[in-house]
Amino acid sequence: MAAMIVSGELLDQMMKSKTGLVLQNKDSTPENPEVWRERAFVELASRCQAVICCRVTPKQKALIVALVKKYQNVVTLAIGDGANDVNMIKTADIGVGLAGQEGMQAVQNSDYMLAQFRFLRRLLLVHGRWSYMRVCKFLRYFIYKTLAIMMVQIWFALYNGFTAQPLYGGWFLALFNLLYTTLPVLYIGLFEQDVSDEQSLELPELYIAGQKDKLFNYWVFFQAMVHGIATSLVNFFMTLWISHDIIEPLSDFQSFSSVMSLSGVLSVTMEVIIIIRYWTVLTVLAIFFSLCFYTVITWTSQSLFLFKISPQNFPLLCEPPSRGLGGSPGDGWDLCLRGIRTKASCAGRVMKEVGCWVGNRGPGAGSGKAPPWART
């Protein structure tokens, strides 16, 4: 059926009719006649490409939206420009008000305000899809980086007898989410783009990914968890392996802790470099300052100067003092090299991205509707 036209009087008769609509009921179980009429109306309307409701009251407008929300597993959006649209706008999940000659009642009760109806296309296909993609990518990365850093504490507990000894220093735990990884996450949540606005309008089928919850669901959540746990395993046991020798250990606890923190920061930074699609000057600055914050604060907090002021709050990397991270440049370079060696955890991620890139450029690429640059 192409379209259905319903007037307010006809809608009122259908909702109050004793016989209801003549429509095959797939469920033979008897139910409340009022519920059956509502369900039958929504099912009939869902079979149409468009439903036009004319001469309906504000209450009936809100009723139609409420019925769709009740019997269809969808997110509803209502747009209006007058006071008679307020009930409908407030009933829908997303309300859009138009500022015009009809007054400001619709705008004051809406979630978004537009100047003209034609801007709704850009609100949905560009800004709406961008917002959904950013939130999904933000959540995936946040889950990954949290598990990649904090699961290491569990693997460390296997070797310290499950005592209360933390692997990371207090300054690292306090500043990891505050300074070391904040800027890239904020950039993803605010400015990330998988395609340009022109391409979003040219390819409206990209909007379907949000309707089907393809970018964040239980499977994506599980993948992010497995990725984070795998990264923590590789980082911990690679660091443990390079810190041991046949004759004697190559480092003490403080050195091991510093290598682990450096390895974790580099892992989550490499991940954000891989997943970002929209590179600007802000992207480079966010990553650069995050690494600078970690380097400067770590170097300062483990310096001999602060150790003399407060040994308990600023412990040295190891004894003697000349081997502290702030005392011997050679030991600092050795620490960096050890941290870089543990980056085997990024090998699988890089190989996956290369495989996707080669597959998108290989024979048969472009046969689907979504272009290669639409990947998130």
CA angle 317, 240, 166 (to 5 degrees): 55
Name the one residue in this structure whose structure tokens are 């407060």. Answer: 310
User: Residue 336 burial (CB < 10 Å; 0-12/13-18/19+)?
Assistant: middle
Q: What φ, ψ does residue 50 adopt, rounded to 5°?
A: -150, 145
Q: What φ, ψ does residue 49 adopt, rounded to 5°?
A: -75, -30
Instruction: Tell which wins on pLDDT, 219 or 25.
Output: 219
Q: Determine the Cα–Cα distance for residues 21 and 8; give it in Å rounded to an integer.
A: 16
**Looking at residue 140, what DSSP letter applies?**
H
Q: Residues with Cβ < 8 Å from 237, sequence gap 6 or more? A: 155
What is the 3-state secondary structure of 80-105? Answer: ECCHHHHHHHHHCCEEEEECECCECH
Residue 27: what pLDDT?
A: 52
The residue type at 289: F
Q: Per-residue pLDDT averaged across 86-110, rounded?
A: 89
Query: Does domain 3-120 correspond to CATH entry 3.40.50.2000?
Result: no
- Which pTM was predicted? 0.79
Is residue 277 scored above 80 in pLDDT?
yes
Is residue 23 scored above 70 in pLDDT?
no
Q: Residues with Cβ < 8 Å from 23, sequence gap 6 or more? A: 40, 43, 44
Is residue 18 scored above 70 in pLDDT?
no
Q: Determine the Cα–Cα distance for residues 296 and 169; give it in Å rounded to an integer.
A: 15
The pLDDT tens digits for 350-371 are 666 666 665 555 433 443 444 4
Is residue 373 scored above 80 in pLDDT?
no
Name the one residue in this structure whose structure tokens are 């997110």. Answer: 75
Q: Do 206 and 368 contact (CB within 8 A), yes or no?
A: no
- Here the tokens at position 272 are 């954000």
Please report which helix (H) or strand (E) contains residue 53, including its range: strand 50-54
Residue (of 267, 125, 127) closest to 191 by Cα position: 127
Q: Do 172 and 298 contact (CB within 8 A), yes or no?
A: yes
Residue 171: what pLDDT?
A: 83
Q: How many residues does the chain have?
A: 376
Residue 239: what pLDDT?
A: 82
**Which range has the top average pLDDT, 127-141, 316-330, 358-372?**
127-141
Please report which helix (H) or strand (E) contains residue 350, including its range: helix 347-361
Is residue 103 scored above 80 in pLDDT?
no
CA angle 252, 159, 225 (to 5 degrees): 110
**176 CA to centre of own chain:** 19
Instruction: Give the chain's mean pLDDT.
Output: 80
Residue 324: what pLDDT?
A: 42
Residue-range domain boundaries for the chain: 3-120, 121-374
Q: Do β-strands 50-54 and 77-80 pair in parallel, antiparallel, or remain unpaired? A: unpaired
